Chains A and B, each alone.
Chain A
Amino acid sequence: MKNFDCFNRPISSAPDSWVDVIERYSNDNNKTLKRTTKSTRCLNLGSYNYLGFGSFDEYCTPRVIESLKKFSASTCSSRVDAGTTSVHAELEECVAKYVGKPAAIVTGMGFATNSAIIPVLIGKGGLIISDSLNHTSIVNGARGSGATIRVFQHNTPAHLERVLKEQIAEGQPRTHRPWKKIIVVVEGIYSMEGEICQLPEIVSVCKKYKAYVYLDEAHSIGAIGKTGRGVCELLGVDTADVDIMMGTFTKSFGSCGGYIAGSKDLIQYLKYHCPAHLYATSISTPSAQQIISAIKVILGEDGSNRGAQKLARIRENSNFFRAELQKMGFEVLGDNDSPVMPIMLYNPAKIPAFSRECLRENVAVVVVGFPATPLLLARARICISASHSREDLIKALKVISKAGDLTGIKYFPAAPKKQEEEKDRMKLD
């Protein structure tokens, strides 16, 4: 209760690299917080704005406004009734081509995509094997489907193989009938760890045991890979080996909504049966236009090389920031190239201290505690964006270092040769 002011901070400008955080005050020890009209300009290290599309963009926004004037904010109807406009059709083709699959289907919300698609693909008599740190939307979808759920140790293909062998040999619980089908659900980048999934090994294990692979690229699409095509491109996995690829547009494309990409038959089947397609209002047309324009910028089809610049900048920024933090002695999780960096705080009492200290110096960070993470593994999560400049990052490093000294979270000595040890320790976590 006392640290409510670290969460739900309202902002009054676009979620760009610098943001206006509204000041709030409380008369009853942070039980209720009231808005004031004042705001402070802070460096934004918390929003999911990986490629910098989160604010006014010179190519995207005029086209979005044009489509708003032509199609209006919403179609008030589901996709099968009167909610499919020419923009939606173009969007699905564009997404399919970008991701590298024959066809795609788009829904208006990433969370609802998982909750509505998994029950259509698998039901009672099937088995879902999911990573232990998967997102709540996947857990919700898996529970709603009625299939049996088993968990394998985070990002460990050896354990996955053991679980698969056991489960196929045993069959369904109590009746021992063979399973109807097995789907293995993994994520591209895990949002609380910053780790990239070990996709090549997992895909080879699944191929050997004839299980289907469902890849959730919520954080990795657009942010990693040479042309931003996600974890498959980065690790050299053929997209034809992954049966179902899912992702959201909220993070790298600055819009809203989610997609599923797969074979033409799969998408046709989903269009006929998926409840999010049949009953929910279709994605807002200006948002769809924003995604198309963002993809065009990333691929360079708008005639400039801003896309390639953005992709190079986010990679540079993430690697620079991570290396500097590790040099200062912080414990930073995550792999190289991943734009998500959790800094371990461990002690829950340090959560409000770190957050308020950074805000005092005009840097806005995100702190996460229980129940999103285990009770004693609290962390501060940094999300780097392509729109952060080198000066922004240097200022952020200074502020974080000062706050780190005050709260005592520099758990490692600031010496370069200790970096090998840290990496080993992180893999075991």
Chain B
Amino acid sequence: MDTNLVEMFRAGLNWVTMALDAPSARVVLFGVRIQWHIFVEVLLGFVIVILLSQKSYKPPKRPLTEQEIDELCDEWVPEPLIPPITEDMMHEPPVLESAAGPHTTVNGKDVVNFASANYLGLIGHEKLLESCTSALEKYGVGSCGPRGFYGTIDVHLDCETRISKFLSTPDTILYSYGLSTMFSTIPCFCKKGDIIVADEGVHWGIQNGLQLSRSTIVYFKHNDMDSLRSTLEKIMTKNKRSKNLRRYIVAEAVYQNSGQIAPLDEIVKLKEKYKFRVILDESNSFGVLGRSGRGLAEHHGVPIEKIDVVTAAMGHALATEGGFCTGNARIIDYQRLSSSGYVFSASLPPYLASAAITAIDVIDQNPDLLVKMKQNIALLWKGLKDIKGMSLASDPESPIVFLELEKSSGSTKEDLLLLEKMADRALKEDSLLVVSSKKSFLDKCRLPVGIKLLVSAGHSESDLIKVSESLKRLASELLL
């Protein structure tokens, strides 16, 4: 049956071939024998040409006419530039009438000042004032130019050398503003595509730097080393490409938002295991932690070469303004060319740089200031141990003593208003200047809010007792 079919098919094919060949069996065109398949190919060629020349279907574009554009522009109503001002935005800060030392004057009254980060009491120190005065007489106030265009004054270079010598690092670079140090350093090194693991409690300057760097950012739980370990583990195992990307860990030595101290020895162990680089912000620990004030590395006994980039703002223990970054010579040289806050901004006023040099000299020669400050912190802890309604959330050795609310009302706004009321009453009734947390809507940190006390070496025992008594009284009146 099959063979019959095949034979019939073959016979049919033969007949067709002959039939088609027959008329042109003897035609030779251009030296090529015309056969039947030429006709099929020519027909196919025509079909292809016709299809290609068809226009493809595009839905018709109708751009807006001039009149329509004008109508849209007339109709559009923008939002007001700022939302309406509410009651709580009208709060005025206290206006000081004398230097912000441990005691200061507000509204003609003498108040005890726990709101200045004057950890070693160097505000008002005669050596600093002397060096500032001579610098002012020699150089005037401003430096009138960025570092690249005659804004580099010899005191800047001296200051950088002095800081490098103090911390035993190869090189240092000075910035003209404390807040801009972090948000210029991070985008300088971290670019799009890198991975940064940051603590969730870092302050706004660091958050802004992270955002400007456009890298991938992963947060870990505040000061929790287990969370850090699991995050690093997840990043290294989940993504095979991670091995070829640059990876950074960003942390603060003493967190401004909570007063906790970062366990640097564990961070360094994790960094070496998973091969990350560490960027550390030592604003509140420079001049404070460690036996001679050399910061967190000395405090934990870690050699400072293990930390890749160390930045600090000088507006805290050094009682001056500005910031610096220290580290390897290559890292510092790179920043001199590509850090936006350094290249495109005027340099630090020379009298502030000479104040920084004098402050470091004073710290070097007077180690008893550190001892006094540590004693004051311990005394304050003893006094505030049994305060009702609030708990001490900071590290016992940190100069920022942070009292957080034990029972939050659920809304950050309500808590902030309550704490502000407490701080206002402390000022009015007991002549005490304390800080309640302030939050901008740009700040992404979600740590609990509270009252911050910044302890200085210049506070006397009676000051500390006074503040403990006052806070205990106010807490029991307002919070329970």
Contact = CB atoms under 8 A, between A and B. Distances in A.
A168 B72 contact: yes
A356 to B, nearest CB: 15
A258 B256 CA distance: 25
A73 interface: yes
Given A268-B85, A281-B315, A77 B179 contact: no
Contacts of B178: 280-281
Given A75-B116, A165-B69, A278 B440 contact: yes
A354 to B, nearest CB: 15
B405 interface: no
B94 A82 contact: yes
A334 interface: no
B177 interface: yes
A256 B129 contact: no
B136 A120 contact: no
Contacts of A111: 177, 180, 340-341, 344-345
Interface string A69-107: 111111111011111111011000000000000000000
A76 B442 contact: no
B237 to A, nearest CB: 32
A72 B359 CA distance: 13
B164 interface: no
What band does the interface of chain B fall in when counting residues whose beta carbon is under 8 Å from A? 35 or more
Interface string B136-154: 1111111111011111111
A181 B82 CA distance: 10
A110 interface: yes
A345 to B, nearest CB: 16
A299 interface: no
A135 B344 CA distance: 8
A120 B442 CA distance: 7
Interface stretch (B2-10, B204-212, B225-233): B204-212
B81 interface: yes
Given A111-B180, A111-B345, A169-B72, A44 B140 contact: no
B369 interface: no
A151 to B, nearest CB: 18
A8 B89 contact: no
B128 interface: yes
B34 to A, nearest CB: 60
B183 A115 contact: yes
B72 A76 contact: no
A159 interface: no
A108 B439 CA distance: 20
B349 A284 contact: yes
A68 to B, nearest CB: 6
A109 B176 contact: yes
What band does the interface of chain A fall in when counting residues whose beta carbon is under 8 Å from B? 35 or more
B133 A65 contact: yes
B433 A73 contact: no
Interface string A257-283: 000000001101101111110111101
B336 interface: yes
A119 B150 contact: no
A281 B313 contact: yes
Given A15-B143, A85-B97, A169-B64, A112 B78 contact: no
Given A61-B137, A279-B205, A82 B115 contact: yes
Contact of B79 (A112, A180, A274): A180
Interface string A348-385: 00000000000000001010000000000000000000
Nearest to A274: B440
Contacts of A401: none
Contact of A61 (B93, B136, B147): B136
7 contacts: A15-B151, A54-B140, A266-B82, A269-B85, A274-B440, A275-B204, A287-B142
Given A81-B93, A256-B348, 6 more contacts: A35-B154, A73-B123, A211-B78, A279-B179, A279-B205, A284-B352
The 7 closest A-B pairs by CB, nearest first: A281-B315, A82-B115, A109-B177, A280-B179, A111-B345, A15-B144, A250-B346
Interface of A: 7-16, 19, 21-22, 35, 44, 46-49, 53-57, 60-61, 64-65, 68-77, 79-86, 88-89, 108-112, 115-116, 119-121, 135-137, 140, 143-144, 164-166, 168-169, 178-182, 209-212, 243-244, 248-251, 253-256, 265-266, 268-269, 271-276, 278-281, 283-284, 286-287, 290, 364, 366
Interface of B: 64, 68-70, 72-73, 76-79, 81-83, 85, 88-91, 93-101, 104, 113, 115-118, 123-124, 128-129, 132-133, 136-145, 147-154, 156-157, 176-180, 183, 203-205, 208, 211-212, 256, 313, 315-316, 319-321, 336, 340-341, 344-346, 348-349, 351-352, 355, 433, 435, 438-443, 454
